[in-house]
Amino acid sequence: MSAPKNSRPKNVAEHVLDRLAAWGVHRFYGYPGDGIGGIFTALPKRDDAEFVQVRHEETAAFAACADVKYGGSPIGCCAVTGGPGAIHALNGLYDAKLDHQPVVALLGHTAQTAQGGGYYQEVDLGTLFSDVGGYVAEVKDPSQVRHVVDRACRTALADRTVAVVILPSDVLEEDAVPEPPDAHGYYQTSAVPSSDPGAPAPAALEAAAAVLNAGEKVAILAGAGALGASTELTEVANRLGAGLSTALLGKGVIDDRSPWNCGAIGLLGTTASWHLMRECDTLLIVGSTMPYTEYYPAPGQARAVQIDVDGSRCGIRYDTDVNLTGDAATTLDALLPFLEDKTDPTWRAHVERWTASWDEYSEQRAHARTEKLNPELVVRELSDRLPDDALVAVDCGTATSWYARDLTLKPTQRGSLSGTLLSMGGAMPYAIAAKTAHPDRPVVALVGDGAMQMNGVNELITVQRNWRTWADPRLVILVLSNDDLSYVSWETRGMLGEAPDPQSQAVPDVPYAEWATLLGLDGATLTERDAIGSVWDRALAADRPFVVDAKVDEDIPLVPPHVTLQQAFNTARSQVAGDPDALSIIANGVKETVGAKARSLLGLPRKD
């Protein structure tokens, strides 16, 4: 037991930490405030608790979510004060909710004696958090601590969601009641986690196998729920002669260099994944609910089987024939003996040709010369240099597109991002969590300049504060700096058919590498194409965190894997509407699409 040793009775704050420790919660991301001061005075007295002070409560919640994603903790935890602190944390908690990560949020609150009186920072936290929290409870009496914390942790784990524990400041200071009375109106609860779901019944596995065995052209869509099942997924794919595509959060579950891995699906996906989905006759979905249904097989085209740990998420994107509820690895392993070997190599050969064609086209596109640095080339040059045990944190924006298409991952590596909420400002909190959870592993963050200005420049202070405690000091932050909120600019062109407004889309030019140096970190400003490789080499060999400020071209088109007539019409209309970057967009568009595709089809060497 690692609780503080003294003669006085424990208080409620200490009891809360004791009970969380029983559930394996030992790391807390947060920012202090008087509403939750009791927790922050209790934390330093423990030798089994780690507190990570970040610059903003939103970062604390993001990091708690990411800590679980990167395998650091069974349950993520953030601790923030009430009122504005709690409000700030909401965005990161929604990230955890939508990506189904178990997180417990400890929220300080106005003292009970002052509640209802319009006190400073008094907010109705129960109402405010009722949507994001799968379980929300306020501790109003010390005897509640045990069952509230136990149920919060159990709910977070079992439902893979957010649980919220509200802690009034005066209750935190009261004497604890570790053992509630054996009396009416009290609970005797357990801190033992529930067992994981096992494999589905044999009859359900047989039904799923009948569908998969009958197919001649099998496609697999793997998402976050497939992570940790790389071996089993590979065995099933090879048995079925299947091709595979991944949702963003499933990237890397199968080596991106595998010839039957068609890469990302969806708007940021590959043409190979488009062909895979639109030409298959059978679909196996493993741990994914990717919502862009226009990138699935057409309605009625394919029979389908879905595997998910949560049965409520089966059959909600495609009309599935069989739904299997269970852990991906366990279920795939149990399914394998029921599957027949497919000996006809025709379908797999088609898949490998699509993948090879996409890879060649991508290489040509990345090496297309642009006015400033081509961001695809900057990211692509990282792939072969990325250490085998690297963790990658990605922000939402054009960085997401280049990550999905140009960075190759393998199962020993792990990349993640705000995958469903798609919030900007996630990469730096994720990177901090990755380094905190695995201080002995290198981490790379891919961040747009909009997100870097949103919270990244501030969280570099957190990095500066902590990096000397890491066994491996390597944290490389790539800032894709183009002075534009370019993903939104492309949405404005492609979806609205309008020219982006510089007043809303342009962002200031900031010397990110110089800021890093000022903090005692390292960095370099990258402007020359021929220096891309050497700057990556320098960054990945640095003895401290390193910021690469890459001055990239904002006019590189985000071309979907399948361009609709409406998207083409809207983009063309935006150019006629007076887009100031029209000429550059047209020039880059020709190089990156027509030129790159032509060189790929003709088998010409890339044009450096």
**Digit-coded pLDDT (tens) for 146-177:** 999 999 999 999 999 999 999 999 999 999 99
Q: Distance (Å, rounded) from C-alpha 162 to C-alpha 105?
A: 7
Residue after which a domain boundary falls, among 322, 354, 386: 354
**CA distances for 330 relative to 284, 327, 451, 500, 564, angstroms:** 15, 5, 38, 49, 40
Same domain? For 135 and 261 the reply is no
Instruction: Over range 469-494, report the average pLDDT.
Output: 87
Whether residues 310 and 387 share a domain: the answer is: no
Helix (H) / strand (E) element for 66: namely helix 57-69
User: Would you tell me the crossing angle of helices 84-98 and 57-69 to the nearest 10 degrees?
Assistant: 30
Strand order in the sheet with 162-168: 50-53, 27-31, 76-80, 103-109, 162-168, 133-138
pLDDT at residue 600 above 70? no
State whether 158 and 217 are in the same domain. no
Give the residue from 125, 101, 374, 351 showing the smallest Cα distance to 227: 101
Residue 509 placed within a domain: yes
Q: Within 13 Å of residue 291, how many CA atoms lie on the same side as its CB?
A: 6
Are residues 378 and 341 located together in one domain of the fold? no
Cβ neighbours, 10 Å, residue 150:
19
Q: State the DSSP H helix or E strand holding residue 203, giving kind and residue range, or none if neither.
A: helix 202-214
Residue 108 has pLDDT above 80, yes or no: yes
Residues 398 and 443 in one domain: yes
Full strand arrangement of the beta sheet holding 303-308 = 261-264, 243-246, 218-222, 282-286, 303-308, 322-325
pLDDT of amino acid 455: 96
The per-residue pLDDT for range 521-566, each reduced to its tens digit, is 999 999 999 999 999 999 999 999 999 999 999 888 877 776 554 5
**Residue 605: which pLDDT band, with cuts at 50, 70 and 90?**
low
Average pLDDT over residues 414-418: 98
Strand order in the sheet with 391-394: 414-416, 391-394, 443-448, 475-481, 546-551, 522-526
Domain-embedded: residue 61: yes
Report residue 50: phi and psi, to 5°. -120, 125
Closest CA to 218 of 206, 228, 208, 230: 208
Q: Which pLDDT score is estimated for 597?
A: 46
User: pLDDT tens digit string along 25-52?
Assistant: 999 999 999 999 999 999 999 999 999 9
Regarding whether 306 and 414 lie in a shared domain, the answer is no
CATH number at residue 536: 3.40.50.970
Contact residues for 169 (Cβ-Cβ < 8 A; gap 6+): 34, 35, 36, 37, 38, 82, 108, 109, 110, 111
Identify the pLDDT of residue 556.
87
Q: How far is CA 383 from CA 296, 341, 377, 534, 543, in A?
A: 28, 34, 10, 14, 21
Residues 537 and 430 reside in one and the same domain: yes
What percent of the chain lies above the pLDDT cut of 70? Answer: 90
Lookup: tokens for 123: 């907010």
- Closest C-alpha among 577, 378, 375, 598 to residue 494: 577
Average pLDDT across the chain, whole number: 91
Contacts of 119 (CB under 8 A, 6+ apart): 110, 111
Residue 543 burial (C-beta neighbours within 10 Å; 0-12, 13-18, 19+) = exposed
Is 607 domain-assigned? no
Strand partners, 80: 31, 107
pLDDT of residue 506: 87
Please compute Rg for the chain using Cα positions. 25
For residue 564, the model assigns a pLDDT of 55
Question: Cβ distance 174 to 8 under 8 Å?
Answer: no
Across 102-209, the runs of DSSP E, i.e. the strands, are 103-109, 133-138, 162-168
594 band by pLDDT with thresholds 50, 70 and 90: very low
In a domain, 480, yes or no: yes
Residue 192 lies in a domain: no
For the chain, the farthest-separated pair of C-alpha atoms sits apart, in whole angstroms, at 81
Residue 295: name the closest of 321, 328, 263, 327 by CA.
263
pLDDT of residue 531: 98
Same domain, 315 and 409: no
Q: Which residues are CB-neighbours of 7 under 8 A, at least 6 positions away? A: none
pLDDT category, 574, cuts 50, 70, 90? very low
User: Read out DSSP for 355-423?
Assistant: HHHHHHHHHHHHTS--SSB-HHHHHHHHHTTS-TT-EEEE-SSHHHHHHHHH----TTSEEE--TTT--
pLDDT tens per residue across span 226-252? 999 999 999 999 999 999 999 999 999
Cα 114 to Cα 122: distance, rounded to the nearest angstrom: 9
CA 389 to chain CA mean position, Å: 17
* 299 belongs to a structural domain: yes
Percent of the chain scored above 90 by pLDDT?
83
pLDDT in tens, 189-212: 999 999 888 899 999 999 999 999
Label residue 578 by pLDDT band (50, 70, 90).
low
**Do 476 and 445 share a structural domain?**
yes
pLDDT on residue 606: 59
d(C-alpha 570, C-alpha 552), whole Å: 25
Which class for 25: exposed (0-12), middle (13-18), buried (19 or more C-beta within 10 A)?
Answer: buried
pLDDT at 471 over 60: yes
How many domains, in total, are found in the chain?
3
Same domain for 348 and 376, yes or no, is no
pLDDT at residue 562, rounded to an integer: 64
Q: What range defines the domain where residue 66 resides?
A: 12-172
Same domain? For 343 and 378 the reply is no
Which pTM does this prediction carry? 0.91
What pLDDT does 563 receive?
57
Phi, psi of 354 (to 5 degrees): -60, -40
195 found inside a domain? no
Residues 46 and 133 in one domain: yes
Q: 105 lies in a domain?
A: yes
Distance CA 33, CA 60 (A): 14
